[in-house]
Amino acid sequence: MSKDLTTKSVEELAPLIENKTISPVELTKAVIDQAEATQEKINSYMAIYKEDAMKEARKAEDEISSGNYRGMYHGIPMAVKDNIYMKDKVTTMSSKIHKDFVSDYDAGVIKKMKEAGIVFTGKLSMHEYAWGITNNNPHYGAVRNPWNLEKIPGGSSGGSGAAVAANATAATLGTDTAGSIRIPSSANGIVGLKQTFGRVSKYGVYPLAWTLDHVGPMTKTVKDAAGLLQVIAGFDKNDPTTVNVPVDNYMDQVTGDVKDLVIGVNEDYFFNRVDSGINKLVRAGVQKLVDQGAKVQEVKIPTLQYAEWAELVTSLSEASTIHHSDMLKRPDDFGNDIRMLFELGELPSAVDYLQAQQVRRQLKQDFQKAFEQVDILVAPTLPVLPNDIGDDFADLNGEKVDLIDNIIRFMGPLNLTGLPALTVPCGLDQGLPVGMQLIGPAFKEGRILNAGYAFEQTNPMEGKKPGILETV
C-alpha cells in the first residue's frame, strides 16, 4: 500500500489525507523510502531530511486530526530545488563554492509552503548555479532520467524533474531563467509551470539572472500545479519585482471547458526545425483540443527572430555580474562548463545589453498583439529529445545540432517577456517523453492551466510510466 501512495498525484492524495484515510506520516515515510530507493540510480536529491520530515508529518497529522486542515497541500511531502533558501539548512546551489552555505531565513515561497502545512523531505540536485540544461554536475554527479538512465533529465531543475517522475517527491518547485522548469518537466514527462514574472516571490532564491528568473511548480498533474501555484503566488514586500495584483482561484478556473478557445500557432518560429516525432505529437495535441471545441489560428510574432540573441545577451550579462567577484577570486572552483559561460558574460557591452532590452520591449508588444487575436499559443516545449549524458549534441531529424542552442530555443522568449508558460506531457517518442507548451497573456495562468487540463484528460501518456519504477 505504501508504495502505491507514492504513485498518486496531490489531487488524489489530498482528500485521502483530509478524510484521514491515510496519514501524512504514512505518506511521508513512503515518499522518503522511494527517494532512498531511487537515489543511487537517479541521484535526484542533494540531501534527504528524514528525521525533520517525519517530525513535520506528525505535526501535520495532529493538526488534521484535531480538525485544523489547511488545504490541498497540508501534509504533502515535498523536496525543493537546492537554490531555494530554508532557514538553518545548507543550500548548495549544487556548487563547490556554496557547499556549506546555510541561510538564516526562509525564502518567500518556503514561508508560504510552511503556512500551507507542506512537509519538506529534502533538497534536490540542479545544474551548478542553475546555469545549464543537462544537470551533469561536476561536483555531485549526473542526475539521470528515470525513463532512460543513459539520458539527461534536462536542467537546470533536473533533480526536481527526475524526483517527481520517480515518485521520490509528491511535487516540487523549480526555477526557470531560460527554461529550467519546462525543460526538465518535458524531459521527465511531468507538468511544469513558469508563471508570469512578478506573480511569485523570488526572495531567498539564489539568482541566475535577475530580470529573467522565475520560481514555479513541477508536478504530476495540471491540478497539482494549479494548487501549488495557489500556495506560492502573491505579492511579497521583500521582492520588489513581485506585482501587487489579486491572486486568482486557479483550481476554480481548471474546468476542462475549452469550447471556443482560440489557439494561436506560430509556424515561423515555434514549429521551425522541430524533430519530426515531436512535431507530430504536438500537432496531435492541438487537434485533441480542437476536438473539444477549440479553434486554431496562425499568428505572426516578427521579433521572435531576434529573441535568442536578446535572451543570451541578457542572461550572460546578468549571470556574470552576479558571479563576477568569485570569478576573479576562485575561478577554478566553478565547473568548466559554467566557468566558460561566466567568462563569455563579461564580453557584451552596455550597448549590447541595452539593445537586447529594446528587442525585449518590442517582443512583448508583438506577443500582446498576438493575444488580441488568440487566447493562448501552443508550441512544442523542446524541439529535440533528451540526449545522452555527457553529449554536447542533440539529434534533429538525423542531424547533429548543438544541444544548448536547440533545447532553449522555445524557452527564452517567455523569460524575456515574462509571460506564463505551461508544459504538459503529450506522449512518448522513442520511449522518451515529449512536452507540449501552452503560453498565455500576463497573469492568465488559469487560462493555460485549464487548456492543459483539458488536454491531460485525453490521456496522452496512455498510462505509461518511467522504466525505473519497475525496478525499485
Confidence at residue 472, expressed as pLDDT on a 0 to 100 scale: 80
Three-state secondary structure string covering 186-199: HHHCCEEEECCCCC
Cis, bond preceding 156 (omega within 30 deg of 0): yes
Distant-in-sequence, close-in-space partners of 451: CB < 8 Å, separation ≥ 6: 258, 261, 263, 289, 294, 376, 438
Which pLDDT band, with edges at 50, 70 and 90, does 2 fall under? low
- 317 in active site: no
Rounded Cα distance, 313 and 344, in Å: 10
Q: Is the pLDDT of residue 400 over 90?
A: yes
- List the one residue out of 141, 166, 168, 139 whose CA is nearest residue 50: 168
Tens of pLDDT along 304-315? 999 999 999 999
CB 17 within 8 A of CB 234: no
Active-site entry in 94, 125, 156, 160: 156
Rounded Cα distance, 64 and 16, in Å: 11
- 81 in active site: yes
Active-site entry in 95, 157, 180, 317: 180
**In the predicted model, what is the mean pLDDT of the chain?**
97
Which pLDDT band, with edges at 50, 70 and 90, does 467 fall under? confident
Tens of pLDDT along 39-80? 999 999 999 999 999 999 999 999 999 999 999 999 999 999
pTM above 0.95, yes or no: yes
Please, what is the end-to-end C-alpha distance for the chain in angstroms?
A: 15
Residue found by looking up cell 508570469 in the block: 196
- 156 in active site: yes
Which pLDDT band, with edges at 50, 70 and 90, does 287 fall under? very high
Which pLDDT band, with edges at 50, 70 and 90, does 471 fall under? confident
Active-site entry in 8, 23, 44, 81: 81
Residue found by looking up cell 525543460 in the block: 183
DSSP 173: E
Q: Is the pLDDT of residue 1 over 70?
A: no
